[in-house]
Structure 1
Amino acid sequence: MKKNSLITFTALIVLSFFSCKENETITSVEVTEPEYEGAELSLEFDQKIDSLIALMTLEEKVGMLHGNTLFTTAAVERLGIPKLQIADGPLGIREELEINSWTPLGLDDDFATYYPAGAGLSATWNTDLAYAFGNGVGEEARARNKDILLSPAINIIRTPLGGRTYEYFTEDPFLNKKMTVPFVKGIQKNNVAACVKHYAANNQETNRNIVDVQIDERTLREIYLPAYKAAVTEANAYSLMGAYNKFRGDYLCENDYMLNTVLRDEWDFKGIIVSDWAAVHSTVKSLKNGLDIEMGTPKPFDEFYLAQPLIDSAKTGKISDTEIDKHVKRILRLMYNLKMMEGQTNRVKGSISTEAHFKDAYNIAAESVVLLKNEQNLLPLQTNNIKSIAVIGDNATKKNSLGGFGAGVKTKREVTPLEGLQNRFPESVKINYAQGYLERYSKTFETQFGDVTVNKPETIDELDPKLLEEAVEAAKNSDVAVLFVGSNRDYESEASDRKDLELPFGQEALIEAVLAVNPNTVVVMIAGAPFDINEIKEQASTLVWSWFNGSEGGNALADVLLGNVNPSGRLPWTMPKKLEDSPAHATNSFPGNETLTYDEGILVGYRWFDTKNIEPLYPFGYGLSYTTFEFSNLKTDKPSYTENDMIQVSFSIKNTGNMDGKEVAQLYITDSESSVEKAAQELKGFKKVMVKSGSTVNVTILLPAKELAYYDVSKKDWVVEPGAYKLKIGKSSRDIVAETTVSIE
């Protein structure tokens, strides 16, 4: 999997055991840049490509520039040019659909591994798992003969109401890029092109097809583009997807500044731009301004903007043959690099739904679970002291591989939380299941233009009296109760944002009723985005956050609850006490109508909360463990540096508890002397470290001084200002345990 088996994706580990105290060991961990396999898009085939293009008719060339079916382009069989086969893939490889609609074909050979959603992956804070995820879906894409995988989805989480928050990674640009790069490399090592989406500034579902997003240049560069830039310049992504929305007046699939000036001229992108489905609005403008392939379903394929209208435009001289050839060449270059062309050999064959892939899905899920509260030490559950357990809630049996408007996965294996507990509990423990609440929606709800909730009915929040009674009785007659509540992929969905942070389906009343009869209750939230859990946090002694967590999600969650796995997930976004505390809502700049200005600027997520001194319900990076950790000995290798230097930040982590566990050390920087506005602190490094009980790990994080830069709009360049910078090590953005100062000369 890796170029150098001695260098892990995050750390070079050197073991040196000596007697510091009885039974204590010291491990040194130096965080280095990842060494994942990945290949640049080679230009070695350009001469062959030029010869091929010279033989092609106009109609053959144009057929390669638009969808010929829902997920393929046209082949040129007489020249040995195959069709491009595309698949959705944020959660795994989507099932096969009809060629011109979203109707499943109902095949029996398109089952795939369901991987945890993006928010769960980012909650692991483990880039190795991002690589494993990418590699797994890449292998499965090849097993299904796919060439382009529409994944990963990396838009910044700007609002907690976002319908695709569950699918995206994080609110932080640094964490975002560090998870994106290995994910992309993992996909592409399998001769599959990652199509990184949705480029760019596509941070809400409301009015996504028409909204004109206005972002100042510094905010664009510092918050919304870093992960895309890293995908191109570090991971060598072969393709990007143009988003639905406008940016500064132009749709993003015909945006010269974003597709040409930034992407190709500045970042030297050599790959292809694929439109989101039905996101194209012009023929000549789209092609000239950077789009390569138009996909969609709203009309016959030969009527697409880059289909017959393009042929007509070429014949009337509105666009040149040279311009068309440029885009065809990009596509052929991609095909040669993927070993698709006639005569090429040794293309990866792939594999699908293997035990190795299910194990990867399990590992991601197990490291994603966040322990929010454990005041009475109910967790981990001690099965030798438990004779009966009440498992309550529709989410205990809800499956999320399919559902909602977005891409799902048809899988043969999705272990639910109830099944996970049944798999893990000994037969001596009686499990009393009660559904508790119904997932119900109004059929009469209608929305108007500009409403936050689009095409989604209102939930029915009244509890069914019989189900409530059954839940209360189960809790009353059990030693322990575990409540599975939260959301699902029907409620959190592409094409609509939530209207508020309220828990749906009357769940708050259910939680209150269960807690009233059994204080030994563990509340498990299963959701992809923040909810208002203020009252739950106050009432419940034990609170866990899980996600739409893949094929093995139930087993992984059960292992965390039972202590077979020590929880190590950390929140990848900030959970506000109230919606109005979040920056997009505090500035009244969500959802907008036809125009939307990001008035919070660079203060997105925890940057806003920390800079404005607003207390969150749970901060970015937060998560507890069944053990305890102490940090000490924070220092740097030198007191001062130049902007081209590498800053070595070292410290020690000791596991002072009774269980082995993983801690996520988070490195934040503060520049209080800056000549421009900056956030109170910014994440610039992290390391997930396994520390055995009673042991100490010495960690060194390597911080490039260039990471201290801000984007200077007047210079159109990144600037590291000289002066003093605070380096802070913390367990979350609000739990800083040590800090030191360095100067940049």
Structure 2
Amino acid sequence: MNTSIDKLLKSLTLEEKATLVAGADMWKTQEIERAGVPSITMFDGTNGVRKPGSTQEMGLFSENMPATCYPTGVALGSTWNTELIEEVGEALGRESLALDTQILLGPGVNMKRSPLGGRNFEYYSEDPVLTGELGAAMVNGLQRMGVGASVKHFAGNNQETEKMVSNSVVDERTLREIYLTAFEIIVKKANPWTVMTSYNLLNGTYTSEHDFLLRQVLREEWGYDGVVMSDWTAVHDRLKSLRAGLDLEMPGPAKYNAVKLVSAVKSGELDESVLDASVRRMLELVAKVTAAAGSKEARQPWDVDAHHELARRAAAESIVLLKNENGILPLAAGKLRRLAVIGQKAKKPRYQGGGSARVTPTRLDIPYDEIAAMVGGEDHLAYAEGYRNDNEPDDALIEESVRLASQAGAAVLFVGQPEGTESEGYDSKTIDLPPAQVKLIQEVAAAQPNCIVVLCNGTAVAMQEWIGGVPAVLEMWLSGQGSGRAVADILFGRVNPSGKLSETFPVKLSDTPSYLTFGDGNQQAVYSEGIFTGYRYYDKKELEPLFPFGHGLSYTSFEYGGLRARTAGGVTTVEVDIRNAGDRAGQEVVQLYVQDEESRLIRPVKELKGFCKLQLEPGETKTAVFTLTPRDFSYYDPKRGQWVAESGWFTLMAGSSSADIRATVRVDMAFEAQRSPSLHRYSLLCDWMAEPRSREVLERFMERMNGQISDPISLSEQSLEFLGDFPLIKLIQLYGQEMLIERSPESMVDELLASVHQAKV
């Protein structure tokens, strides 16, 4: 432990320590001038630094200091490019330093449980492995620059409806496999300097005071030693939260809670060592960030042009080519007699969502202007607004659009969810496009066969009303201030699209896993779909989505060779050769899925366990290499309280999407024996039979019991089909009444448990 921090901690008064575990105002921590402890500043920043004019202001509804607005989380997630996201993280670090920001409040890594989630645009994916790897890359890039990340929102915060009071009811297996895995990957691969808890309750306890979540899982199991902070005003009981491991309450000064802490220590209600542990972590954080704040790069202006180019490049990699019949894209600028550009969003683009992630950009590329530059000026374009009131079609605007489209060589329609529909604070009501836009698409497509739809939205949208009539669809997302140039580059082939969907697009909302329970407004969010979220659900239900997870087309084609796998030293290495079979350079995202052919517990058909993005010139071949550990073959078993890898056959699958598997190989895996379930009074007969020692104890007992009853019980495989799910204590009550004249069934089971325990000691 750092000696200077030890000395500093000892020098602080109880009152000073109590103030250090809360903020000083909206965005700063407390300064202890006497002891030389400076304050540190933090601001929102999932896709750009959102710095208000003062640390006293929230700044949600006003312009903030200009910063680069990078693609939102949904867009970055669709790049599937960890190197690129790490580069964005470094750029965010430079801007943070220049804006005197020591902690950037991001990334947001919550799972997309429903496409209605109001903050889905901030989050990377529906899949925990993809989210975890991308989140770790962002944290590593940011913290390399000496700026701390704050990974959020831990955990079970997957809706905006009543999020400050809603109770997320999640079984432990689902929690571990789906909702905690991304955080675990980030903690272990990137060691974020802070983790932010969420507002909601998790299984009846606020996450800010959740001992299981913060102490047992985060600190003890994962080994996290950084600062845990609250979301703003998310502390309810400061003593409980401190004991659970929440170090920093935001915002501050929260003097009432400081008084409570001092009083609790003095009365003996709170051991001062608990407070000291949190203060120590705060001092360690201050030491980390102040060292970077004194570097040469700190407070130096960043290269605005270079960062804008990075925003453009990231946006271009995020755009997903969903459909491209007859190779209508890319457009040939010199061959079009005229191009119709239709839709208000072409001139007034949606490029980010609302709420705490909203950034004041340093500049903004306008799609219409960038397209005009590509074709040699506005003389080669025809523009129609297409819609104003999204809900009510404007016949005059649609007629103008149809006329211009029919006179052009092709039409590009910019459509998407209206401004203000995707934001922190509330969930969406629909995934359909507004009626005015649907009618516009239908009528323009009927008049112009070369019709390209460009979508601007932060989550999946339904398209069944119109997609059959259009040959090409580009998903542009909310891709930040450089998205206007990025989409023009894609449309005209200057950039080959390489984005892949990081979430499933359903045919309709009622197809989605959480449709029946999501956001029903009763302060309970019951995760009844369990582990079957996203593509896991569609696979298991054999339900075809509109576009599957991982889908995305290219202007070239890729061929997959055979999949190869070898296991040595507990690590399985998987390789597959990828060849660019087309005439354009391009990037392919190779996705590796694992399927357990037979399992004791129900499992998804397949699960993503690795991915890589390869840049390939025409005719070039490269090898995608993946490494799998036993964890990648495991499921979480709540009975055993551990991850379980069962020996047996698995199928490894390499594909261009979750539904486009190009190569497979079967592997026979042998894993070490797993710990048997912990036995207790109400353990099932099958649990007693699962481990040799407990089975031996049970068999001896059953032999004794059978000698005293008229209807002996067999432990044959056939009998266990029926009796296996009986708790042993109930079996004794049902068949062993002759043995219970002077003893209770509880005492008999306790005696058997003692025998098992004695044999194991």
Do the structures match in fold with TM over 0.5?
yes
Is the CA contact 2:145–2:292 (under 8 Å) kept in the aligned structure 1? no
Letter in 1 for 2:257: L
Percent identical residues: 39
How many angstroms apart in 2 are the aligned matches of 1:93 and 1:507? 33
Q: Distance in 2 between matches of 1:223 and 1:678?
A: 12
Match of 1:388 in 2: 338
Q: Hey, what's the Cα distance between the residues in 1 that align with 2:156 and 2:60?
A: 31
Q: Does the CA-based 8 Å contact 2:23-2:254 persist in structure 1?
A: no
In 1, Cα distance between equivalents of 2:622 and 2:590:
11
Distance 2:600 2:292 in 1: 54
CA RMSD of aligned residues (A): 2.2
Q: Does 1:667 align with 2:592?
A: yes
Aligned to 2:155: 200
Per-residue CA deviation, residues 681-702 of structure 1 (Å, 9 max, x unaligned), is: 1111112112222333333333
Residues 428, 254 of structure 1: CA spacing in aligned structure 2 closer, same or farther, 3 A cutoff?
Answer: closer
Structure 2 counterpart of 1:444: none
**Which among 171, 183, 188 is matched to residue 216 of structure 1?**
171
CA 1:698–1:101 in structure 2 vs 1: closer, same or farther (change >3 Å)? closer
SS of equivalent residue, structure 2 residue 190: coil
**Paired residues for 1:57-456 under 5 Å:** 57-103=13-59, 110-296=65-251, 301-303=252-254, 306-340=257-291, 348=298, 351-352=301-302, 354-400=304-350, 404-427=354-377, 430-438=380-388, 440=389
| Aligned mates of 2:274, 2:351 — CA distance in 1 | 42
- Residue of structure 2 in register with 1:626 after alignment: 555
Which whole-Å deviations, capped at 9, do the CAs of 1:518-571 have from their partners, x for residues lacking one?
Answer: 221110111110111112221111111111111211111110110011111100
State the distance in 2 between where 1:85 and 1:741 align. Answer: 52
What is the TM-score when the length of structure 1 is the normalising length? 0.86
Residue 688, structure 1, aligned to residue 617, structure 2: no
Secondary structure, aligned partner of 1:54: helix
Q: 1:505 and 1:279 mapped to 2: Cα distance?
A: 39
Q: Deviations over 1:597-618 (max 9, x none)?
A: 2111111100010111000000
CA contact (8 A) 1:728 1:739 kept: yes
Tell me, in whole angstroms, the C-alpha distance in 2 between the residues paired with 1:465 and 1:497.
30
Contact residue 82 and residue 341 of structure 1 kept, 8 A: no
Q: Post-superposition shift, 1:150?
A: 0.4
What SS class does the counterpart of residue 615 from structure 1 fall into?
A: coil
> Which AA in structure 2 matches 1:70?
M
Q: Is the 8 A contact 2:146 2:292 kept in 1?
A: no
Q: Secondary structure at the match of 2:122?
A: coil
Q: Alignment partner of 1:339: what SS?
A: helix
Q: Which amino acid aligns with 1:405?
A: G
**Cα separation, 2, equivalents of 1:199 and 1:350:** 33
Confirm or deny: 8 A CA contact 1:577 1:616 kept in the other structure: yes
Determine if contact 1:118/1:167 at 8 Å carries over to the other structure. Answer: yes
Which SS does the other structure have where 1:475 is aligned? Answer: helix
1:657 aligns with 2:582: yes
Is the alpha carbon distance of 1:739 and 1:175 closer, same or farther for their aligned partners in structure 2, counting shifts above 3 Å? Answer: same
Instruction: Say which SS state the counterpart of residue 622 (structure 1) adopts.
Output: coil
Find 1:730's aligned residue among 655, 660, 673: 655
Structure 1 residue 401: deviation in Å? 5.7
Contact 1:386 1:429 in 2 (8 A): no
Q: Aligned partners of 2:397 and 2:268: how far apart in 1?
A: 69
Q: CA 1:50–1:402 in 2, change beyond 3 Å: closer, same or farther?
A: same
Q: Which deviates more from structure 2 when the two are superposed, residues 694-703 or residues 209-218?
A: 694-703
Q: Which residue of 1 aligns with 2:483?
A: 553
Distance 1:593 1:64, change over 3 A: same
The correspondence of residues 542-691 of structure 1 with structure 2, limited to 5 A, is 542-585=472-515, 588=517, 590-591=519-520, 593-636=522-565, 638=566, 641=567, 644-691=569-616
Gaps of 5+ in 2: 671-761
Name the counterpart of 2:678: none
Q: Quote how far apart the aligned CAs of 1:593 are.
A: 1.9
Q: Does the Cα contact within 8 Å between 1:111 and 1:353 map onto a contact in 2?
A: no
Who is 2:748 aligned against?
none
Which protein, 1 or 2, shows the higher relative CO under an 8 Å CA cutoff with sep ≥ 6? 1
Report what 1:476 is aligned to.
406
* 1:527 paired residue number: 457
Distance in 2, Cα, partners of 1:737 & 1:103: 49
Structure 1 segments unaligned to the other structure (5+ residues): 1-42, 441-459
8 Å CA contact 1:629–1:655 kept in 2: the answer is: yes
Aligned-partner SS, 1:73: coil
Contact 1:75 1:81 in 2 (8 A): yes
Deviation at residue 220 of structure 1 after TM alignment: 1.1
Secondary structure of the residue aligned to 2:507 is coil
Cα distance between partner residues in 2 of 1:198 and 1:655: 40
Question: Which has the higher mean CA deviation after the structures are superposed, 682-691 or 710-719?
Answer: 710-719
Distance 2:414 2:600 in 1: 49
Q: Is contact 1:461-1:506 (8 Å) kept?
A: yes
Equivalent position amino acid for 2:338 in 1: S
Question: Do 2:353 and 2:422's aligned partners in 1 also have CA atoms closer than 8 Å?
Answer: no
Q: Partner of 1:93: helix, strand, or coil?
A: coil
Amino acid aligned to 2:661: I
